[in-house]
Chain A
Amino acid sequence: MGKLQVPKGAIIGIGELTPVRYSEGVTTLGLIAESVRLAIQDAGIEKDEVDGLLVGPQVGETPQHVPATVAEYLGLEPTMSNVVDLGGATGAGMIWRAVAAIEAGMCETVVCVLANINEKGKALRSPNRNPIREFDVPFGASGANTSYALLKQRHMAEYGSTQEDFALIAHWARKNAQLNPKAITYGKPASVEDVLNSPLIVDPLHLFEIVMPVAGGAAVVVTSAKNASKGGHPPVYLLGAGEKITHRAVSQAPSLENAPLSYAIPRALEQAGLSVQNMDLLSIYDCYTSVVAQTLENAGLCAPGRFGSWMKEHSFGHDGDWPLNTHGGQLGFGQADLAGGMSHIIEAVHQLRHEADLRQIPNARHALITGNGATLSEAAALVLGVEL
């Protein structure tokens, strides 16, 4: 592979709603509009400067024509728009696609937005008629908890990793969330024992190892590198990206240990011309503890199967040697559907702009962001930095 060119784009605006456990009287389109309004305001640009729009799929509310529906709702007339549908990797997948569209000359300033409602007692189910619905669900395997439990069990049986090892990840997420007043677990720290004492939902996964679904939204404004200094904040540049899909259903995963992140992360670092050792923040997708475990191993921070002993040797707060998910991660912050994946990008921008208040990482210059969709199926990684 020849030397990869660094992309020429930057994040100049972010908007994020404070997660709420259950929403009432709001719509997904409404949450999208509020997220976008906040992001444009943060960028210090006018609405009419937006000529690109990336949105997520909307289960239940707008099954088709999603970009047109969102554009109409917002009064935008984008010259580039699309749905990005990569589950938890959607947010990260949007950022490089926005830059790619700008580099292709299709637009100059792109809004990437994800949001969802969460109404009490109402599950957003999609009426699937696809292979996972036909060949996994009938055996009693509905939902992501089962799939991630299968992956965690495999790690434990293969490598001898322990429940305490995984609980440490949830503990750090909750601990970091105590410095983020927007986090859904703010004021609710959890010790390793608390995690282990929380109910087993799908053995070996405990309740506190699983993200809490919330309502919320997030939007990010991306523009060209040459325009990036126009905004009201220091630009945060995209330095590298990597992405890969390997399967949909966990039963069809080509490997239960080697997730597609093991391609996406090194690829993003190579494009940035940096190593994982250069990263000041690990903003690692964490729908479940086991995803963080596998991501740390896929990033080459420790040998396969060794995350537990590695974690015991390091510290993961903003003032630690490996700041990890300083906003609390989704385990601490809450998962507003696909916007949960965007929270890792929003936090990286806060840190790289040096506006993270009590949880600011000293001299933060580079961040690694990962996204993970389905069951370690859809992977995206980004390297963000304060200069090109």
Chain B
Amino acid sequence: MIEKFENLTVPGPTITPITKPFWDAVARKEFILQKCCDCGEWVFYPRSHCPHCWSDQLEWKPASGEGTLKTWSIVHRPGHPGWAEVTPYVLGIVELEEGPSMLTHLLVDSDQKLKIGQPLKVKYIKCNDVWLPFFESKE
């Protein structure tokens, strides 16, 4: 199930100087997020300025890599042809324990019963030579 992603020819992240620490951490199998030194809010995706208070004092901190499911969809016909090999696959929006939400690939069977609020945890997957933070069921 996991090896199948390694040889996909799909677009990887377009990494910027601001976001590079996040992707470098993922490659080390670490999940880090920015936290605002001024207002204390956690921030995702990584930014130069806090979207809550516009402070430029954002600090990288280790994060839980856990969250809950907000919604999901099962892709039968992907928008990028490179993903066709692994259809159907499940995408989800995860509300991270720290607060922000992220979209991710869920490592669950497409016929598995999912529900809002279901606990999830990060699982690092190598996809087309890049490590990505996929998520799987916490149980």
Contact = CB atoms under 8 A, between A and B. Distances in A.
Contact of B72 (A129, A140, A150, A158): A150
A134 interface: yes
Contact of B71 (A133, A143, A157, A202): A157
Contact of A251 (B19, B73, B93, B110): B93
Contact of B101 (A151, A204, A252): A252
B80 A137 contact: yes
Interface string A120-138: 0000000011110111111
B75 A202 contact: yes
Interface string B1-39: 000000000111111100100000000000000000000
A152 B73 CA distance: 9
B134 A139 contact: yes
Interface string B68-93: 00111111111110010010110111
B116 A250 contact: no
A141 interface: yes
B16 A134 contact: yes
A146 B14 contact: no
Contact of A204 (B73, B105, B110): B73
Contacts of A142: 11, 78-80, 83
A141 B77 contact: no
Contacts of B138: none
Contacts of B102: 135, 251
B73 A135 contact: no
Contacts of A151: 71
A26 interface: no
A157 B73 CA distance: 11
B127 interface: yes
A143 B79 contact: yes
B53 interface: no
B75 A138 contact: no
A153 B71 contact: yes
A201 B77 contact: yes
Interface size class of B (residues with CB under 8 A): 35 or more
Contact of A140 (B45, B71, B83, B115): B83
Interface string A145-169: 1100111111001100000000000
Contacts of A4: none
Given A202-B75, A203-B73, A135 B116 contact: no
B79 A134 contact: no
A249 interface: yes
B14 A140 contact: no
Given A138-B13, A138-B127, A153-B71, A202 B76 contact: yes
A140 B80 CA distance: 7
A249 B45 CA distance: 11
A140 B134 CA distance: 11
A153 B72 contact: yes
A256 interface: yes
Interface string A244-257: 00000111110010
A3 B83 CA distance: 53
Nearest to A156: B71
A138 B104 CA distance: 9
A76 B9 CA distance: 46
A202 B73 contact: yes
A133 B45 CA distance: 12
A197 to B, nearest CB: 15
Interface of A: 128-131, 133-146, 149-154, 157-158, 199-205, 249-253, 256
What 3 pairs between A and B have smallest CB-CB spacing? A143-B79, A142-B79, A149-B73
Interface of B: 10-16, 19, 45, 70-80, 83, 86, 88-89, 91-93, 101-105, 110, 115-116, 127, 130, 132, 134
Given A134-B16, A143-B80, 18 more contacts: A133-B14, A138-B130, A139-B104, A140-B78, A140-B86, A140-B89, A141-B79, A142-B79, A143-B79, A146-B79, A150-B93, A154-B71, A157-B71, A203-B73, A203-B75, A203-B76, A203-B110, A256-B93
